[in-house]
Amino acid sequence: MSSPSATARARELLGVGALTNASMTRWLNGLPGVDQVGADARAAGLGTRSIKTTSKAWAIDTAIGMIDLTTLEGADTESRVRSLCAKAMAPDPGDPTTPQVAAVCIYSDLVPVAVDALRGSNIHVAAVTTAFPAGRATMAVKLTDTRDAVRAGAHEIDMVIDRAAFLSGRYLQVFNEIAAIKAACAQDDANGAANGAAARLKVILETGELATYDNVRRASWLAMLAGADFIKTSTGKLSPAATLPVTLIMLEAVRDWRDLTGTQIGVKPAGGIRTAKDAMTYLVMVNEIAGDDWVDPHWFRFGASSLLNDLLLQRQKLANGRYCGADYVTID
């Protein structure tokens, strides 16, 4: 089911002739452990950085440009998605210098609406697929879900991993699923993708269900091995969603993966990041853990909705010297 290239690369990295669940387990268990107390302390330490004046202005604009502006509700309508797209293109209608967000993140059936609404802009359309958020569906359904979104013009696919398979140690199954979805993201004749390039695959680990930092590290490496372009913390449907220590471990994973393979992978914390101060702390972490190369919307995203308005309020405060209040930013 998985693509031959992912399997071939995994065989090479693992140094095995045949990719089995046992060989994958050995490889993942061979990763260095994470000491929870130490990881928490490091994340808390980065949280004490003080970002002021010019750095703050730069960080706010950079964070706005990294947002995947998200609506993932059963009640999402066409007009709701169009309204969100309008906000994505002009976050602060009163100030044209405000940067646009990176992408709009929606359910897969609403992709055509978003593609239409964002036409002519550089904003990407990201679709959650694979029976988001639970991921409880057959593989055939997950593949169809993904292909539909790609065909409709999604630039990015946010998939969920099968946490049940991961937690019960069926790593090869998780690997195969990710690799298969990755193949479905590729543009080929069968898919008939509309936007002319393969969709980038974000793999949601749903770290809130993985329970330990060791598992977060293993799931990150497993996703990267299977072909993820991005690793993403959470669906946002579960608490805890993104946390600083979990993001720290994922940033260490992409940094170490590039050292090993030369391939750069993105990171997306999602859910629970609501204030400009939170966003700046995450940016500090990207800067000091993964490094300069990741301080870029191509390699780091925030999955968020309410965050944008707080960033806009802080941006106005820096410009005018005072807080304007919630009525001076739009509710998408």
**Catalytic residue annotation:** 158, 232, 268
Can you list the pairs that 135-143 forms with residues at least 24 positions away whose Cβ atoms lie under 8 Å?
135/160, 135/161, 135/162, 135/163, 139/1, 139/177, 139/180, 142/177, 142/181, 143/180, 143/181, 143/184
Give the contact letters, 150-189, x = binds to other proteins (CB under 8 A), - = no.
----------------------------------------
Q: Which of residues 37-56 bind other proteins (CB under 8 A)?
A: 37-39, 41-42, 48-56
Identified binder of other proteins from the candidate list 90, 288, 317, 318, rule CB under 8 A? 288
Q: Quote the CA–CA distance of 63 and 61 in Å, as a whole number.
A: 5
Whole-angstrom distance, CA of residue 150 vs CA of residue 193: 6
Pick from 6, 10, 60, 62: which binds other proteins (CB under 8 A)?
Answer: 62
CB of 57 to other proteins, least distance (A): 9
Distance separating alpha carbons of residues 266 and 9, to the nearest angstrom: 19
Residue 324 binding other proteins, by CB under 8 A: no
Shortest reach from residue 183's CB to other proteins, in Å = 33
Size of the site for other proteins (CB under 8 A): 29
Question: How many angstroms separate the CA atoms of 304 and 236, rounded?
Answer: 9
CA distances from 265 to 206, 314, 318 (A): 18, 30, 33
Edge to edge, what strands does the sheet with 302-304 contain? 266-268, 230-232, 200-204, 156-160, 124-128, 103-107, 67-70, 302-304
Closest separation in Å from C-beta 52 to other proteins: 5
Decide whether 65 or 133 has the Cβ nearer to other proteins: 65
Q: Does 295 bind other proteins (CB under 8 A)?
A: yes
| Distance of alpha carbon 251 from alpha carbon 291, whole angstroms | 9
Say whether residue 59 binds other proteins (CB under 8 A). Answer: yes
Q: Which C-beta is closer to other proteins: that of 34 or that of 184? A: 34
Q: Which stretch binds other proteins (CB under 8 A): 26-34, 79-87, 93-101, 175-183?
A: 26-34
Instruction: Indicate whether 246 belongs to the interface with other proteins (CB under 8 A).
Output: no
**Interacting residues with other proteins (CB under 8 A):** 32-35, 37-39, 41-42, 48-56, 58-59, 62, 252, 283-284, 287-288, 292, 295-296
